Amino acid sequence: MKTRITKLFGIKYPLVLSGMSWISTPELVAAVANAGGLGILATGILTAEQSREYIRRTRKLTKKPFAANVTLYFPGAERNAQVIIEEKVPVVNYALGKGDKIAKAVHAYGGKVIATVTTLKHALAAQRDGADALIVTGHEAAGHGGAITSLVLIPSLADALEIPIIAAGGFADGRGLVTALALGADGVAMGTRFMNTKESPVSEIQKSISIEKDVYSTIYTDKVDGLFARVMDSKGAKKLIKKKLNPLSALVNSRKIARLLGFPWLKLAIGIMLSGYKRSVQMARMAIGFEAFQVGTMDGDNERGVLPLGQVTGIIHDTPTVKQVIERIVAEAGKLSRELPKLF
Ligand SMILES: Cc1cc2nc3c(=O)[nH]c(=O)nc-3n(C[C@H](O)[C@H](O)[C@H](O)COP(=O)(O)O)c2cc1C
C-alpha cells in the first residue's frame, strides 16, 4: 500500500502501533515494524537511562524504521526527549505539549515528527511547530481521546491541514482502515487491537476479559489520572471515580511518580506546591492514575487497577499475532476497495 504516511516513514503499510506505557515495548514495536507497520516505543514511564536501553534493544530486534514517544506533560519528559534525539530515533512522537524544539532537533538529523492531538487548535499549532504528520485521536479511543468521534474529527481536521493524518480511536480491522482513508486520513494508529495480540505484554487476564467486552463496556472520565480518558468499566475504575482528592494527596502521591520516573522528589514536590490548587489535585490524580494503570495493565487486577480500553474492544474477538493482525487488515481493506466500487 502507498499513502503519504508509508512514503514519509518508509513503511509497507499505513498501520501504527500507539505508544502505550508498559505495552509498547521493544518486542511489540519490533513485531509491528517487522510486519510492515510503524511501532511507537512508549517512554512515558521510563527513566532516561531506561529509554536509551529500550531504544537500543529495539534496534537489535528490527532493522526497520520505528518511533519513540514522549509525553511532554509528564515530569522527566525533557530528559527522555533528549535521549530519543541523541539516539537519532527515525520517528519521534510527542503529545500533550509544545513540540517546536523537538521538531527542530529531530529534523536536524533527518528524522520525522508526529504530534498526537485531539483538537483542531492543537493540530494547527503542531503543524506550525514543524510536525510532519499528526495522530488525531477521537472519542472512541482508549486512554486520552478527545470529545469528538473519529467519524467527524478526521474529515474536519483533514480539510483544515496540509500534513498527513493518522486516525486513532475506534480502528481494529480492514473496514476501519478503508473508512479512515475515505475520511481523509493517510493511515490508522491502534491501541486496543495491538494490546490484544500474542506478543503484547499485557496481562493474559485482561486479554481474555476484553475479548468478552462489548462496545458499551468502557467509561470516559477525568477522575482516573486527571485528564479525560477512556477505561474499561470495572470496580477499580468506579472506586477511583468516587475518590476525593486534595493538594495534600498530591504531595503524598508524588513520591510514587518520582520513584517510578527516577525524578528528584523534592523538585517534583516544590513544583506541585507552586502549581496552584487545581493543578495539584490533577497531579494527585495523575500519581494515583499511574499506579492504577500499571496494576490494571500488567497485573490484570480490575479491583485495584484500571485498564485503558477503547470502544472498539466490542469488535475484537481474538488474540492473534501482530503479523496476523496486520495481514488480515490489509487483506480485508483490499477486498473492500475492490467490492465498494461495484455499488456505484
Ligand atoms: C491498554 C492501553 C494502554 C494505553 N496506554 C497509553 C499510554 O500510556 N499513553 C498514551 O498516550 N496512550 C495510551 N493508550 C492509548 C493509545 O495510545 C491510543 O491512543 C488508543 O488506544 C487509540 O484508540 P483505540 O484503542 O481505539 O485503538 C493506551 C491504550 C490502551 C488500550
Please give the Cα distance from 22 to 312 (Å, whole number): 20
* Dihedral (CA of 237, 239, 241, 246) sign: negative
The predicted structure's pLDDT at residue 270: 75
The predicted structure's pLDDT at residue 142: 98
Residues whose beta carbon lies within 6 Å of some atom of ligand 1:
18-21, 23, 42, 44, 95, 137, 140-144, 168-171, 190-193, 195, 297, 307-310, 312
Q: Which atom of ligand 1 is nearest to the CA of 44?
A: 8
Please give the Cα distance from 121 to 134 (Å, whole number): 13
The predicted structure's pLDDT at residue 285: 78
The predicted structure's pLDDT at residue 212: 95
The predicted structure's pLDDT at residue 263: 67
The predicted structure's pLDDT at residue 257: 67
Cα of first residue to Cα of last residue in the chain, in angstroms, is 23
* Dihedral (CA of 45, 146, 209, 328) sign: negative
Q: Probe ligand 1: pick from 15, 16, 17, 20, max atoms within 8 Å of CB?
A: 20
Segment-wise mean pLDDT, segments of 10 residues, the chain, 344 residues: 97 98 97 98 92 98 97 83 97 93 97 97 97 98 96 98 98 98 98 98 96 97 91 95 74 69 71 70 78 93 96 98 98 97 95
Q: How far is the CA of 114 from the centre of ligand 1 (A)?
A: 16
Alpha-helical segments (H) within 43-119: 48-61, 77-86, 100-108
The predicted structure's pLDDT at residue 250: 66
Give the up-direction half-sphere exposure of residue 18: CA atoms within 13 A in the CB hemisphere.
33
User: By alpha-carbon position, which residue is closest to atom 6 of ligand 1?
Assistant: 20
Q: Which atom of ligand 1 is nearest to the CA of 311?
A: 26
Q: Probe ligand 1: pick from 16, 18, 188, 194, max atoms within 8 Å of CB?
A: 18
Query: Taking the model in full, what pTM does it have?
Result: 0.93
Q: Which residues contact 68 (CB under 8 A, 6 or more apart)?
A: 19, 40, 41, 43, 51, 54, 55, 84, 89, 91, 92, 93
The predicted structure's pLDDT at residue 269: 73
Cα 189 from chain centroid? Answer: 8
Please give the Cα distance from 115 to 302 (Å, whole number): 31
Q: Taking the domains of the chain in order of start, what are their residue ranges?
A: 4-201+318-343, 218-299
Q: Which atom of ligand 1 is nearest to the CA of 23?
A: 3
Overall CATH class of domain 4-201+318-343: alpha beta
Give the largest CA-CA distance in the chain: 65
